[in-house]
Structure 1
Amino acid sequence: MGSKTDYTFQGWTGQDKDCVGKMKWETYDPKPWEETDVDIQITHCGVCGSDIHTLRSGWGPTDYPCVVGHEIIGKAVRVGSEVKGIKVGDRVGVGAQSDSCLNRKGKCNDCSRGWENMCQREGRCDTYNSKFLNGGKSYGGYADYHRCPSHFVVHIPDKLSSSDAAPMLCGGVTTYSPLKNNGCGPGKRVGIVGVGGLGHFGVLWAKALGADRVVGISRKANKRDDVLKLGADEYIATDEDKDWATKYAGTLDLIVCTVSSPKMPLQEYLGLLDTRGHFIQVGVPEKPLPQIMAFDLIGKSKTFGGSMIGPPAQIEEMLQLAVDKNVKPWIEERDMQDANQACLDFEEGKPRYRYTLVNKKHA
């Protein structure tokens, strides 16, 4: 434990805002080692929309060089002396967050309540394009190895394949968390807006949680068959189904919106909610959302909110639900060596519905 490594940290680095499809395989220095850390030999890493936004500085200036990828699965190969519950050889994973103020003196209210994903204090660190409290820069999972504080490392259940589990660590929990936190279950009518990588998970989780009715909502009708196969009870194609906003008005209790484009009929979506319904935004457009009026909310006491990933305990809860309910995401494996082309294909909307990069040197 805590011995020097005999391996090198190498990965696909983005160099500037035009690097999508042009990443370079390079060596980099991970965060300085602490005895609360775990080193992971990466076997799989999901491709997430956040990767593309970050590579092109879409959400603000990126700290280049940057290695993206925050749906990481692999084998623990180095475990710090202060780490509990993880041993060398364990199959483990890391999602979009790598640290918070949890272990700092005077931890915040969110971390105290188990909501580490809400932490905004000093010590908060994302899995890539961020800084650890010890000054180290965070690098993601399009790589051979990853170093992470152990609190944000989760065990992967034996009955889940690594390719299926990887995209659950961000894409999965991003939709699971708002569904679970807003009462998705028996008696609930749930809509999932935007049935792509995130939205397809939303449909799967809503059914697994026992919602009475699940409605997939997207622009075009060409995904209708897929969404019904995923388990949805109905499908709305907003560009093609005539009078959909009137026909389905007031028929849903909870809507999770995964759309990352500001071009959405937001007022009409809110109109789909019944009294005291909840609309939760999880997609993050690079430009402002459409305007809404106060009466879009107050007339039926509706709630408009947002949600961001989930804490480690909820990720583990979600993974166990996937085992218990045999949740099977639609995954296409891509070779880690072909990460550049995978990103280009992802940006063009080609995956149905999620890519997992496989590091064949280690898998």
Structure 2
Amino acid sequence: MPHPEPHFTGWLGLDKSAAEGNMVWRQLPNPKTWTESDIDIEITHCGICGSDIHTLRSGWGPTPYPVCVGHEIVGKAVRVGKDVKKGIKVGDRVGVGAQNSSCLKPDCEDCTSGLENHCRHSVNTFADKYPDGSESYGGYADYHRCPSHFVFKIPDAIRSEDAAPMLCGGITVYSPLKENGCGPGKKVGIIGIGGLGHFGILFAKALGADRVVGISRRGNKKDDVLAMGADAYIATEEDKNWHKSHARTLDLIICTVSSPKMPLSRYLSLLRTKGTFIQVGAPEDKLPEMSAFHFISKGVKIGGSMIGSPREIEEMLGLAAEKGIRAWTQRYPLREANKAVVDFERGVPRYRIVLVNEGNVEKQEREGR
């Protein structure tokens, strides 16, 4: 029997105050039109990402309210279109990250080269529109509908609460680590030990880097970072000479910080000649000013990275399953989503919040018996 049309309900932000814990539970207007290449997901887990907060408060520009955020989605496939060719079937545990769609046209340079995340016709998982005018809504909800190209089967070895935050937070650091040669022989620094940064430590070690250094303002996260597998820790506000004592010690730096006040020129001093600095944190205003001599004198490369391609997400999930990687998370019931976004903004989580849709979890457990 075909699965009935889902009743799309979720937490909606109606204006900028949503980021202060003022989302409302309502039916989602004009959800994506069903096609036979789509998959409907009954959501059990959804991670909270910094992008959710930026969007709820219109921090990166005007948000098209009403918006239902959340792009770290895991749940059960309850409807699979007849044109889906990924081997996903009804009942499978699947996930969706920050991207819902791209053009996938044969004349698209990005899509044909496996860089769908850079396609100029991509559709974000929330706060975006499909070509037919229907809306994309995220995972603070009961159900999610997504084109199958951007739906991933979750390996049995990974718990749902670990898989969910990997689908944006994890891939955001895994992709630049892998693309910039993280592995044996490399010394890697991760700036900012939060939801993204803790994944940076975990994946840099899993990829086999010779030395992994966590870098944060204060020393209060040192024990955690070393427990994650890091070899060293730098507290920039507690060691006044950190940029000198650790100068030219790293080959690659991934920066997850999104503050316009970060000491960018000092971060660059940590790189060895021909080192690489990759920015993944996205400030709401601008990056700090710096002199060209801070990077041209050593031939340092400065770049950026945004999420990852479907191929990289599948590769990351495979590595996480093989290495037994577990996210450091705190779980909140979906009904407490407003409290969770406020706590997230206050810096409560160590190091990622995952919303659990307890009603759907219980439903699936009953159906599984």
Partner of 1:281: 279
The question of whether the paired residues in 2 share the 8 Å contact of 1:194 and 1:216 is answered with yes
TM-score of the two chains, using structure 1 as the length reference: 0.97
Q: CA deviation at 1:201?
A: 0.3
The question of whether the paired residues in 2 share the 8 Å contact of 1:334 and 1:356 is answered with yes
The 5 A counterparts of 1:340-355 are: 340-355=338-353
Partner of 1:22: 22
Partner of 2:141: 143
Q: CA deviation at 1:260?
A: 1.3
The question of whether the paired residues in 2 share the 8 Å contact of 1:101 and 1:107 is answered with no
**Cα distance in 2 for residues equivalent to 1:258 and 1:149:** 29
C-alpha distance after superposition, 1:309-356 (max 9, x if no partner): 001111110011011111121111110000000000000001000011
The question of whether the paired residues in 1 share the 8 Å contact of 2:3 and 2:78 is answered with no
The question of whether the paired residues in 2 share the 8 Å contact of 1:75 and 1:92 is answered with yes
Q: CA deviation at 1:4?
A: 6.8
Q: Which moved more, 1:321-330 or 1:267-276?
A: 321-330
Partner of 1:64: 65
SS of 2:135's equivalent in the other structure is coil
Partner of 1:111: 111
TM-score of the two chains, using structure 2 as the length reference: 0.95
SS of 2:257's equivalent in the other structure is coil
C-alpha distance after superposition, 1:183-209 (max 9, x if no partner): 000000000000001000000000000
**Cα distance in 2 for residues equivalent to 1:305 and 1:6:** 44
Q: What is the letter of the counterpart of residue 133 of structure 1?
A: P
Alignment gaps of 5+ in structure 2: 362-369
C-alpha distance after superposition, 1:84-142 (max 9, x if no partner): 1211111100000000011x3x5421111001001113xx1000001112221100000
**Cα distance in 2 for residues equivalent to 1:110 and 1:294:** 30
SS of 2:134's equivalent in the other structure is coil
Partner of 2:313: 315
Q: What is the letter of the counterpart of residue 116 of structure 1?
A: E
Aligned with residue 91 of structure 2, among 89, 92, 99: 89
SS of 2:332's equivalent in the other structure is strand
Alignment gaps of 5+ in structure 1: none
Q: 2:175 aligned with 1:177, yes or no? A: yes
Aligned with residue 332 of structure 2, among 331, 334, 337: 334
C-alpha distance after superposition, 1:230-278 (max 9, x if no partner): 1110000000013100000110000000001111000000010001100
SS of 1:54's equivalent in the other structure is helix
The question of whether the paired residues in 2 share the 8 Å contact of 1:75 and 1:91 is answered with yes
Q: CA deviation at 1:6?
A: 4.4
**Cα distance in 1 for residues equivalent to 2:45 and 2:142:** 10
**Cα distance in 1 for residues equivalent to 2:5 and 2:227:** 47
Q: Once superposed, what is the RMSD of the aligned Cα atoms?
A: 1.0
Aligned with residue 214 of structure 2, among 197, 212, 216: 216
**Cα distance in 2 for residues equivalent to 1:166 and 1:107:** 32
Moved >3 Å (runs of 4+)? none
The 5 A counterparts of 1:114-263 are: 114-121=114-121, 124-263=122-261
Partner of 1:75: 76
Q: CA deviation at 1:291?
A: 0.9
The question of whether the paired residues in 2 share the 8 Å contact of 1:40 and 1:74 is answered with yes
The 5 A counterparts of 1:262-277 are: 262-277=260-275
SS of 1:185's equivalent in the other structure is coil
Distance verdict in 2 for CA 1:112–1:6, change over 3 Å: closer
Task: Provide the aligned length of Structure 1 versus Structure 2.
Answer: 358
Partner of 2:366: none
Partner of 1:37: 38
**Cα distance in 2 for residues equivalent to 1:146 and 1:76:** 10
The question of whether the paired residues in 2 share the 8 Å contact of 1:44 and 1:357 is answered with yes
The question of whether the paired residues in 2 share the 8 Å contact of 1:38 and 1:77 is answered with yes
**Cα distance in 1 for residues equivalent to 2:250 and 2:315:** 26
SS of 1:101's equivalent in the other structure is coil
Partner of 1:51: 52
SS of 2:16's equivalent in the other structure is coil
Q: CA deviation at 1:19?
A: 1.1
